[in-house]
A = this chain, B = another copy of it.
Amino acid sequence: MIAEILTIGDELLRGSRVDTNSAFLARKLDEIGIDVRYKSTAADDMDCLEEALGLALRRADIIITTGGLGPTDDDITKKAICKVFKRNLIFHENVLADLEKRFAARGMKMPSINQNQALLPQGASFLANRTGSALGIVIDEHGKFFCSMPGVPAEMETMTVEELIPHLRDRTGDRIVLRHLVRTIGVPESVLAEKFRTGLKLSDGVSLAYLPAFGKVDLAIKGTGTVREEIQTGVDQAAATIRNLVGDAVFTEDDRELEAVVGSMLVERQLTLATAESCTAGLLAGRISRVPGSSRYFLGGVVAYANEVKMNVLQVPREMLDSVGAVSAETAEAMARGVRKLTGASIGISVTGVAGPDGGTADKPVGTVFVGLATEQAVTSKKYLMGGDREIVRERTVLVALDAVRRALMD
């Protein structure tokens, strides 16, 4: 079963949009053992699209496209499908009725341009779109499975998980694929690779992929074969060895993000958290609160971008700011202590640093960050030097701050 993902849209070829759809789709297909061998992109242009669809249908068994299903004139994916599969676009009354109902439910009259969304290829089947107006289109014949989905990521993602994957799961045959994810933080990929080079032997059919992103490295163990127990044993052995070699840099062995892991730990221990941020200016709080239900343990915090806010709201002493500066261990600790007191949280976590591009000095170059942590027992801080530009420094800082909370909760 060879799959091709074809993303459609001028904006992708002009580079005005980064394609995140194909990575999402590839991941979901890989999870059910479907090999994505080809990825390609076509313009909103009939010749290009016909050529790309033709090539995909020749070389792949499963062809998934995203994009070009909108109601405006520049969206021509449906017309191209009709040309390549030699069908007509016909008007689907029931689809139109559904759409009108959905607009009515929001108290709106459907713009007439959306009538186009009910024009669909004859003899296709359709995938529901819970969040938008373009249906998915499936043509499944002569041993080829073809599916066209909208390009809006949120719509495509929901449709993939709820509609497409269940459709495809039956096609993957006898081949069993088992996976196990070990997520680590704070150890560089090269250091992990060195540890594993001598310490890790993988059984037949088991492979390990490194997926680094900022300060995190996901270790993706994959076992493939036909005998489930054999594969499971191989995968389990690899996971156990990795766990031994990497220790507490492992933050989870499922697909949860670090903020969700920290959240669970806080819930278990019945503790609350508050944030005091300077250079990340809300991104840490924003990350913590990504987790649904985080209001059980996250109280909030202070974005202390200006020194006046550090002084007046977090009670950082002016003399401290004047003597050691806002980017210092002392200020980080005072901020953590201050926000803990202000909010009554069990734990205060703080961040102050130089995100750049300006503001660096010889002593405190761009990327210098202090993370402070205040608990009932103690107030501590740690200094980091982050590489990268402004946004990367801020992203990395969010991660090390979250990890500081995790490590404090482990003790």
Contacts and interface: CB of A to CB of B under 8 A. Distances in A.
B16 A24 contact: no
Nearest to A75: B210
B19 A36 contact: no
A299 interface: yes
Contact of A303 (B113, B191, B282): B282
A300 B305 contact: yes
B306 A190 contact: no
Interface in A261-303: 275, 277, 280-286, 288-290, 292-295, 298-303
Given A282-B282, A309-B343, A15 B22 contact: yes
A123 interface: no
Main secondary structure of the interface of A (DSSP, over half): mixed
A208 to B, nearest CB: 9
Given A48-B37, A74-B209, A281-B300, A390 B15 contact: no
A106 to B, nearest CB: 8
A62 interface: no
Lowest 7 CB-CB distances: which A-B pairs, in order? A282-B282, A15-B26, A282-B285, A15-B27, A281-B289, A39-B41, A300-B305
Interface of A: 10-20, 22-30, 36-43, 48, 70-72, 74, 106, 111, 113-114, 131, 152, 154, 189-191, 193-194, 209-213, 218, 220, 275, 277, 280-286, 288-290, 292-295, 298-306, 308-309, 312-313, 342-344, 356-358, 385, 387-392, 394
